Amino acid sequence: MMDGSMTGGPSASLPADPFRTLDLRRISRVPAPFVEPDVPSGVGDLLARYASGQTTPQAEMARFASSIAAPAACEAVLSVLDVSDAAQASARRWQNGTARPLEGVPFGVKAIIDVAGAEITCGSALTGHQIAAADADGVARLRAAGAIPVAILATTEYAAGSPFNPRHGVVTNPHDAARWTGGSSTGSGAAVARRMMPFALGTDTGGSVRVPSCWCGVTGLKPTRALLSTEGMAPLSWTLDHLGPLGLSAADLSRVMAVMANLDPVAMRPLRIGVPDGWFTEIVDTAVLTAWTDALSVMQDLGAALVPMSTVDLFGDMATNHEAGWTILTAELSASQRHNAVRRGEQDAGLQARIARGDTLTAADYLLAMSHRTTLIERLMARWDVDLIVTPGLGGEAGHLDGLVIDIDEQTHGFDIISRNTMIWDLTGFPALMLPAGTGRSGLPLGVQIIGRPYDDALCLAMGTAFQGATDHHRITP
Per DSSP, 223 falls in state P
Specify the DSSP element, H or E, that contains 366: helix 363-383
Residue 144 three-state SS: helix
Instruction: State residue 267's pLDDT score.
Output: 86
Taking the C-alpha atoms of residue 435 and residue 431, their distance in angstroms, rounded to an integer, is: 13
Instruction: State residue 72's pLDDT score.
Output: 85
Instruction: State residue 41's pLDDT score.
Output: 84
CB 208 within 8 A of CB 202: yes
CA 221, 227, 231: angle at the middle one, nearest 5?
A: 100
Low-confidence ranges of the chain (pLDDT < 70): 1-38
Taking the C-alpha atoms of residue 373 and residue 98, their distance in angstroms, rounded to an integer, is: 47
Instruction: State residue 33's pLDDT score.
Output: 38
Count of Cβ atoms closer than 10 Å to residue 346 Cβ: 13
**Cα 312 to Cα 227, 317, 386, distances in angstroms:** 28, 6, 16
Domains of the chain by residue range? 24-475
User: In terms of Cα–Cα distance, which of 440, 388, 40, 456 is closest to 214?
Assistant: 440
CB 276 within 8 A of CB 314: yes
User: In terms of Cα–Cα distance, which of 370, 403, 391 is closest to 179?
Assistant: 403
Fold of the domain spanning 24-475: Amidase signature (AS) enzymes (3.90.1300)
Q: pLDDT tens across 200-252, in order?
A: 999 999 999 999 999 999 999 999 999 999 999 999 999 999 999 999 999 99
Instruction: State residue 38's pLDDT score.
Output: 61
Tell me the pairing of strands 199-204 and 242-247. Answer: antiparallel
Looking at the DSSP bridge assignments, the partners of residue 131 are 119
Instruction: Give the list of residues 6+ apart from residue 361 with CB closer than 8 angstroms, or none.
Output: 327, 330, 331, 334
